[in-house]
Copies of this chain bind each other. A is one copy, B any other.
Amino acid sequence: MQIYRYPLFNSWPDITKRPSADFSDKLETVRNVMSKIRAEGDAAIRKFTLQFDHATITDFKVSAAEIEEAELSLCLELKNAIQTAAQNIDIFHVAQKFSPKVIETMPGVKCWQKAVPIERVGLYIPGGSAPLFSTVLMLGIPAMIAGCRNVVLCTPPGRDGKVHPAILFAASLCKISEIYKIGGMQAIGAMAYGSESVPKVDKIFGPGNSWVTAAKQFIANTECAIDMPAGPSEVAVMADSTANPAFVAADLLSQAEHGPDSQVILVTTEEQLIKDVVKVMGKQLKALPRAEIAAKALENSRAILVRDVEEMVALINFYAPEHLIIATKDAGELAEQITNAGSVFIGNYTPECAGDYASGTNHTLPTNGWAKSFSGIGLDSFCKKITFQEITKDGMALLGPVIEVMAEAEQLFAHKNAATLRMKN
């Protein structure tokens, strides 16, 4: 961990800098893979699956039998845990349902919004070193609550051509039956363009490595929508003398173990806390199976000593972390002052891992400073809001003259005429 003592404001951009996420070197490969999938469909997907995932897949779709088997093969303890998490996620996301309100802006002029599910959504669940079944819940549950008609899930097969049973179990809890053994860029291409096996979708969700991210950016704005720009995961901890150093160390390490490019920042008013955290983190690190990855991430991570609480809050809002843990006196009050963050964890007994898995909040969140302008995933992400309006003849008599004057000033006379004709009638 790099330690900064009382950095000046003009050094903030430097000390809050993320590892750069430039995909320009990947663009040529992505373009090539995407155009092959667009032109050749399943044949291209099959070829790339062999090339990148070293698996030979004849039928991409996971069968009903495979899903049933998955449920039988999992231990009861894990199934119960997944079900409890699913229930909490369900409760929190059901509460996000939008209630339309009809607003009469003028007598006879009624306007309202309605949230309508996006019809066809694609969920990408990465494979790699661990089966991220928790992400299945985080995307699948809001898709189910929203009422999306077609939910497609793609996830890379192992070399044995199989998908981890916990992923299949989590998907079946979310009533997802269209699961395809396709990973990486080829999954993004399959869902963006559609193929013989995989239906085209309107929006693609989910995390992935830099190839997946580059592919998502490539298809966004032309083929379909994406959830948000992605980057390595990150946590910031705001702490004072009331923080527990062992808790802080554990929270920093749980972010660091995600990958060598994870970002971990501790901001505190207490010099002693930095010393204590560094010390206990060294001990905790040794016990971790992913110690090597976490140690690598810690090299790029920072402990920043600031003068007071105001500076602590300002620095955090400047950084806009994906996750923010507030381990201070009056943590709840400080949370009110946070304007840029993905998800905020208040107090010593609220670790980030609670939100990662089971408290009910979503764990798909804006990274890389995007918390300044993007929300994390929620029920909204699976809906679009359509506006409606209904005007009576009397309403048009009131509103018509306003429209006529404005349309004329914008030199749009057909617009004016559409109002005039109604008023004359």
Contact = CB atoms under 8 A, between A and B. Distances in A.
Q: Which of A217, A253, A396, A412 has the most CB of B within 10 A?
A: A412
State which size class the interface on A falls in.
Answer: 35 or more
A12 to B, nearest CB: 14
Given A103-B95, A353-B403, A418-B247, A391 B88 contact: no
Given A78-B409, A250-B417, A386 B109 contact: no
A294 B418 CA distance: 14
Nearest to A293: B414
A100 to B, nearest CB: 10
A405 interface: yes
A365 to B, nearest CB: 8
A283 to B, nearest CB: 11
Contact of A284 (B390, B391, B417): B417
A372 interface: yes
Nearest to A221: B229
B349 A410 contact: no
B344 A389 contact: yes
A8 interface: no
Given A130-B412, A247-B421, A402 B225 contact: no
Contacts of A85: 402, 406
A209 to B, nearest CB: 16
A224 to B, nearest CB: 7
Chain A binding surface, main DSSP class? mixed
A387 interface: yes
A131 to B, nearest CB: 7
A358 interface: yes
Contacts of A388: 335, 343-344, 346
A103 B89 CA distance: 11
Interface string A349-379: 1111111111111100010001111111010
A92 interface: yes
A251 interface: yes
Q: Which of A131, A244, A390 has the most CB of B within 10 A?
A: A390
A92 B361 CA distance: 29
Contacts of A134: 406, 410
Contact of A105 (B111, B341, B360): B360
Contacts of A351: 396, 418-419, 422
A308 to B, nearest CB: 22
Given A290-B412, A349-B393, A405-B81, A338 B418 contact: no
Nearest to A83: B402
Q: Which of A84, A401, A411 has the most CB of B within 10 A?
A: A84
Given A117-B339, A224-B373, 10 more contacts: A87-B105, A88-B109, A92-B103, A106-B359, A130-B412, A257-B415, A290-B412, A344-B386, A357-B407, A358-B402
